[in-house]
Structures are given as structure tokens and as C-alpha cells.
Amino acid sequence: MEKRPGTALVIVGHGSTTNPDSSEPNHLLADAIRARGIFDEVLCCFWKEEPSMREILHSVSSSHVYVVPNFISEGYFTQTVIPRELGLDGPVTLLDGKTIRYCEPVGNHASMTSVLLKRARETAAGIPTGESSLLIVGHGTNLNDNSAKAAKTQVALLTELGLYAEVLPTYMEEAPLISDWSTMTTQQNVVVIPFFISDGLHSYQDIPVLLGIREEVGPAASQSEVFKSNPHHLQGKNLFYGSAIGTDPMMAEVILDQVKAFDAACHPIIDQIVA
């Protein structure tokens, strides 16, 4: 991507008051993008940590700002919380002399497929993909269809590639449930990738219990061996469990892809508003 003088990038994450690993992917991605010198400023902000969403734009000196939600899907946070906290009124907002461009969440971009594929191959290195089932695990909820939509989209894209014997969406709180992984898969090798931004409570505590890797919740991801002991031999199959997709360094490219996608879709709108 070409350099954008006078422009800032703000990466918005959820953050956590209890999980020490929650904000780390955001900071690492910001560092990686900042090192490329594309933007004059690259900052992070969070809902549950500092710096807060409400204050972050006061820290920006650039007159043009791209805001990219580092979230897996559209939903309450991307549609309500972030716009409210940042004071946004649409895709483009003029605020205190700044033009704020609000991009879609990273999980909506098609380039996530390459990140998922990379993580799956690394998780089960050397295992033939054509003899493996690949499960993409989302949160899922009966209250918000968007929670499962992004995972289903990526499963469809991965299936089209034809690299794995089967690619299936699974969820923690709606069918098909990840706890049924052994009965829903047809292959001896099963690769499970959490479709989450950070290795939080779901990826290092809840899902390992649902898979049968652990009988009770374990320590934080930074202190855990759950991602380093593949394969797990369970229920007559070889289970390979990967860490959350948002921890992959390739996510930096997904963030930049959302910036480019915004420009491609909204350039005429910006011209009208600024004029």
C-alpha cells in the first residue's frame, strides 16, 4: 500500500479487564503496520481497556482517520458501541476538523480466507489436507445471526478451494455445536481453528473443555500448553487445535485490505461530504 501522509489508522479492539492476552494482537498488529510507514499515526483503542474509544480521537493529530474494527463480525459492537463512543454518524464523519472513515470489521473481508488456511496448515503441519476435516469455530448465538454469518462465509470460501476433505462451521452456543466435533467429521484428522480475534476465555478455556482436551478450564493462553500439544488422540481421531485466528501476523494485511476496500466503495461519498 502506498504511503498516506496526513492520515492516521485507528484499530479498535474489545479488550478485557480479566484476560491479559486480549489486547496483545491489536498492539502487535499496530506495531507491524506502524513499521511500514504507511500512516503518520497508528493507534489502538478498546472498549474494556485503555486507551478508550471515547478518548482516542483526541490523541490523533492527522486530519484524515481510518477506523478499522478488529472484530470478527458485524454486530452490537461494530454497529452501535463503536459509532457511539467515537461520535460517528455513518461511514464518513466530519468531526473536530477531521474526516473519519469507518471501515468494516476485519472478519468481513475475503482475505481472511488466506489467514485461516495458513493457520490451519501450521496447526497440522505435514498432515494431508485432503485427508483432514477442517472446523471453523465461531461463538454463535440465538440472539444475533451475525455472530455465525462470518464463519459460514469463510467456510463456503474454503470449501470452494477444495483443499480439505470437508470444511464445517461449528459454534459454542448454537448448532452445529463444537462439542459434537467427532460425530460430525468423516476424516481421521480433524483441524479446529477458533474464529476469534484473541486467545481469550473461549479459545484457551471453553473450547478445549468442549473438545475434550481438558476436563476443566486452564490458565491464560500465554501460560498454556493447550496450543502446543498437537495432536490430541481423542475418540479414535487425531485432533489438531490451533490458536485464535486474530493472533496471526497476516491480520495486518487484512486491516489494510479493509482500508483499501473502504476507499474503493466510498470515495464518491467522501467527495460529496467534504465538498
Q: How many domains does the chain have?
A: 2
Cα dist from 189 to 78, 108, 130, 171, 181, whole Å: 36, 28, 10, 19, 11
> Is the separation of the CB atoms in 234 and 243 below 8 Å?
no
pLDDT of residue 148: 77
> Is the separation of the CB atoms in 101 and 66 below 8 Å?
yes
pLDDT of residue 16: 81
pLDDT of residue 266: 74
Give, as one character, the DSSP assignment of residue 69. Answer: E
At 141 the three-state DSSP class reads coil
> Is the separation of the CB atoms in 164 and 130 below 8 Å?
yes
Q: In sequence order, which residues have a C-beta less than 8 Å from that of residue 272 and are 6 or more positions away?
A: none
Indicate if 37 and 94 belong to the same structural domain: yes
Indicate if 266 and 208 belong to the same structural domain: no
Indicate if 155 and 253 belong to the same structural domain: no
Indicate if 150 and 241 belong to the same structural domain: yes
Indicate if 199 and 93 belong to the same structural domain: no
Indicate if 149 and 169 belong to the same structural domain: yes
Here the CATH number for the domain that contains residue 72 is: 3.40.50.1400
Indicate if 65 and 173 belong to the same structural domain: no
Calpha distance 254→42 (Å, rounded): 15
Residue 14's domain comprises 4-107+249-274
pLDDT of residue 259: 96
Q: In sequence order, which residues have a C-beta less than 8 Å from that of residue 140 and are 6 or more positions away?
A: 147, 148, 151, 171, 172, 173, 174
Q: Mean pLDDT of successive 10-residue segments in the chain (275 residues)?
A: 95 82 88 97 94 95 97 88 95 94 93 95 97 92 66 93 97 91 98 87 79 71 62 96 91 96 76 51
Indicate if 85 and 142 belong to the same structural domain: no
Indicate if 91 and 121 belong to the same structural domain: no
Of the candidates 70, 108, 99, 125, the residue with the CA atom closest to the CA atom of residue 248: 70
Q: How far apart are the first and last CA of the chain?
A: 26
Indicate if 121 and 161 belong to the same structural domain: yes
Indicate if 206 and 144 belong to the same structural domain: yes
Indicate if 239 and 125 belong to the same structural domain: yes
pLDDT of residue 76: 84
